[in-house]
């Protein structure tokens, strides 16, 4: 019993169909050449609010009864979940409150507000974020929408893989980033259901490999040091219980990528796929381009999970990394 | 008699279906807010080789008899048509020769070669490019694939609008860039066929508005000065005869955008759509964001035509332009 099965993801897909973008599955000869295998990229950076997070946030919020969400939604995030939650609230016509660290980049705060979301800041490293969310939810009667550790968040996230495998049933290996683990869990459940022989690999940044450490230890383990990685969306310290229950059972393995692997993949996506991909969103692609994922035959599917990066940061990250020479996109 | 009718585009669509990417039609709340209308973007920068040019080049080349193309294809381009032609040759298993100015950026030459294309350079401003193509085609028995002035190139280009209007029949105004005019011509023919009341506007860069000048004069007119614009793909001096025959009859108007409008649209696409768009590719979006296109009700369709720009150039163009404040993508 994993707490998540294929029907959960199919139910989420039906709910998301009228509101989410069916993101494209992109291919390029240059990518196949660089990877050494046929590769298909699910471009979730083109999802509404710029990442796959909208799928889970909307599905979770829409699954609540009108009464449960009547006073509004609340969640904590310094990244893509924040805007996803704001849009979910807007579409469901209830207020959304997002708890964001006070050192978050101004565009992220503005992004949430532009969608009608309410921003509450906390002092990172000082305030108890989850306590603040719980206390405010209790006081104002708000429904908490977690960023990963929820059956419905996992189910919503898994719909991207469902679409990808419907478009490309020939995929034999699926590669997804692992942060909170919701995307990996939802993807693994649906992929093993629709393509029983498929292998599913998670990718973590070298400086935030809590799921890999936990797999090696056979139990949920917190990293001894705080995560250090440019992939800020994947910098988790410890797998969440619900996602761990799925991922520890279904993932065929987890590989890690360096910051340099990540920026090379971001540059590759810019040049050959014409996509803006944030560091966390580029990790699965990075693992493929760096030849880190075990694969012996057939097509590889990759989830490009988000594009939440501004141009100055993007340019700084790419130019700080010597780029490999690559052939042209086709 | 325009030399191009809807059946041409439908025939092209059938031929392209197995080889071209059905590019996504993307929407964003932030775009609707910025434009003041619902907007749908056909993201042809995600087409194979990074622009809509693959549609026309492949369709033209594949329409030739095996005997006509047996010795190979040849065409002239310093831009997206070059890689499109190289890929068309590769897929049709015939050699492709591309005649490129010797000052073209190295990545473009490499891009053509990586696809198996043969590069022949000429001295820009000294050699007669079209003469060189014709002479070589004659000598080696190659089939010339023009970049715009061909019924089949126009038909292939029009398939993007056909897909867009199939996905979004509610579009009441369609906005496309005008360079050689093939995309505008193909788009106008199919749009007026499937949506008789639709308005179709072309967009030219202020520094290369040969079609607008010609429309004002009621005949094909060459610009008195060479085009000066960052939209290098649209810097034509005079409308081509075949595309002019269609565009002069079917376009509801042509508007012009400044370099600043263009870079603002590129920045918008990076931030809100997560797309890498080259200057020429951003012109139609720029016209919408700058409020230049007449529109009174309903949805606007925009073709984002290409993404052929490297990161240093992209960064330089964007940072040279003060960015407007925009709300977040949704």
For B130-179, write each residue's pLDDT tens digit.
999 999 999 999 999 999 889 999 999 999 999 999 999 999 999 999 99
- Interface touch A27/B45, C-beta < 8 Å: no
CA distances in angstroms from A117 to A22, A111, B57, B84, listed in the order given: 24, 9, 47, 44
**Interchain contact, B311 vs A45, CB within 8 Å:** no
Angle of helix B182-194 versus helix B151-167 axis, rounded to 10: 50
Kindly give, in sequence order, each residue whose CB lies less than 8 Å from that of residue A219, ignoring residues fewer than 6 positions away: none
For position B44, what pLDDT does the model report? 98
Q: Does A167 touch chain B (CB under 8 A)?
A: no
Rounded CA separation A70/A126 (Å): 31
In a mutational test of the A interface, the residue from B274, B279, B314, B316 whose CB has the highest number of chain A CBs within 10 Å is B274
The pair of structure tokens assigned to A4 is 């998540």
Are B24 and A21 in contact (CB < 8 Å)? yes
Contacts of A1 (CB under 8 A, 6+ apart): none
What number is the average pLDDT over the span B4-13? 98
Question: In this complex, do B315 and A310 lie within 8 Å of one another by their Cβ atoms?
Answer: no
Confidence class for position B324, pLDDT limits 50, 70, 90: low
Per-residue b or e along A230-251, where b marks 16 or more CB atoms closer than 10 Å to that residue's CB:
bbbbbbbeebbebbbbbbbebb
Structure tokens at A268: 């590759």
Contact assignment for B29 to A115 by CB distance below 8 Å: yes
Which helix (DSSP H) or strand (DSSP E) does residue B96 occupy?
strand B96-101
Quick one: pLDDT at residue B233? 87
Contact A273 B46 (CB under 8 A): yes
Higher pLDDT, A236 or A253: A253
Ranges of each domain in chain B: 6-51+150-320, 53-144
How many Cβ atoms sit within 10 Å of the Cβ of residue A71? 14
**CB proximity B26 to A under 8 Å:** yes
- Quote the tokens at residue B161: 């609008």
| Structure tokens, B49 | 């080789």
* Radius of gyration over every alpha carbon of chain B, rounded to an integer in angstroms: 18
* pLDDT tens string B291-303: 999 998 999 999 9
pLDDT at A321: 66
Predicted confidence band at B321 (pLDDT cuts at 50, 70, 90)? Answer: low
CATH dotted code for A53-144: 3.40.50.1100
Is A125 an active-site residue? Answer: no
Chain A residues whose beta carbon lies within 8 Å of the beta carbon of residue B106 = none
Among A50, A83, A271, select the one facing B274 at the smallest CB separation. Answer: A50
**Mean pLDDT of the A197-211 span:** 96
- Alpha-carbon distance B307 to B285, whole Å? 13
Fold designation for B6-51+150-320: Rossmann fold (3.40.50)
Number of helices (H), then strands (E), belonging to chain A: the values are 13, 10
* pTM for the predicted model, two decimal places: 0.94
* Fold match, A6-51+150-320 / A53-144: yes
Residue A78 scores a pLDDT above 80: no
State the pLDDT confidence band at B12, using cuts at 50, 70 and 90. Answer: very high
The whole-angstrom separation of Cα A238 and Cα A236 is 6
Q: Please list every residue in chain B whose beta carbon sits closer than 8 Å to the beta carbon of residue A328.
A: 49, 83, 107, 110-112, 114-115
* B40 vs B26: CA distance, rounded Å: 6
Residue A166's CB: how many other CB atoms inside 10 A? Answer: 12
Segment 75-94 of chain B within 8 Å of chain A by CB: 83, 87, 90
Sign of CA dihedral B53, B55, B60, B66: positive
pLDDT band, residue B1 (cuts 50/70/90): very low
C-alpha B212: how far from chain center: 17
Q: Which residues of B are catalytic?
A: 53, 78, 204, 208, 210, 305
Run of H or E residues at A42? strand A39-43
d(CA A93, CA A102): 27
Q: What tokens does B25 get?
A: 């039609």
Q: Of residues A78, A150, A187, A195, which has the active-site annotation? A: A78
Annotation marks residue A77 as catalytic: no
pLDDT at A315 over 60: yes
């Amino acid at each position: 019993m994993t707490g998540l099965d294929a029907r959960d993801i199919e139910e989420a897909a039906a709910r998301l169909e009228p509101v989410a973008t069916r993101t494209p599955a992109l291919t390029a000869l240059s990518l196949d050449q660089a990877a050494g295998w046929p590769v298909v990229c699910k471009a979730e950076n083109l999802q509404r609010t710029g990442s796959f997070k909208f799928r889970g946030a909307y599905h979770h919020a829409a699954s609540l009864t009108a009464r449960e969400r009547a006073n509004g939604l609340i969640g904590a995030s310094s990244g893509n979940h924040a805007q996803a939650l704001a849009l979910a609230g807007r579409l469901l016509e209830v207020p959304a409150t997002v708890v964001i660290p006070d050192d978050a980049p101004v565009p992220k705060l503005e992004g949430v507000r532009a969608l009608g979301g309410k921003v509450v800041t906390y002092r990172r490293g000082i305030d108890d974020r989850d306590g603040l969310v719980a206390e405010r939810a209790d006081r104002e009667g708000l429904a908490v929408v977690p960023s990963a550790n929820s059956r419905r968040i996992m189910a919503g996230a898994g719909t991207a893989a469902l679409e990808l495998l419907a478009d490309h049933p020939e995929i034999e290996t699926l590669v997804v980033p692992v942060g909170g683990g919701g995307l990996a869990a939802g993807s693994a459940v649906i992929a093993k259901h629709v393509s029983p022989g498929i292998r599913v690999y998670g990718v973590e940044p070298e400086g935030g490999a809590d799921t890999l450490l936990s797999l090696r230890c056979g139990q949920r383990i917190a990293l001894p040091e705080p995560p250090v990685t440019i992939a800020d969306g994947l910098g988790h310290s410890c797998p969440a219980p619900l996602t761990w229950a799925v991922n520890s059972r279904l993932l065929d393995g987890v590989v890690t990528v360096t910051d340099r692997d990540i920026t090379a993949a971001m540059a590759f996506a810019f040049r050959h796929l014409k996509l803006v991909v944030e560091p966390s969103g580029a990790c699965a692609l990075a693992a493929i381009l760096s030849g880190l994922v075990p694969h012996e035959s057939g097509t590889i599917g990759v989830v490009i999970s988000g594009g939440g990066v501004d141009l100055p940061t993007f340019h700084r990250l790419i130019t700080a990394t010597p780029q490999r020479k690559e052939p042209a996109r086709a």
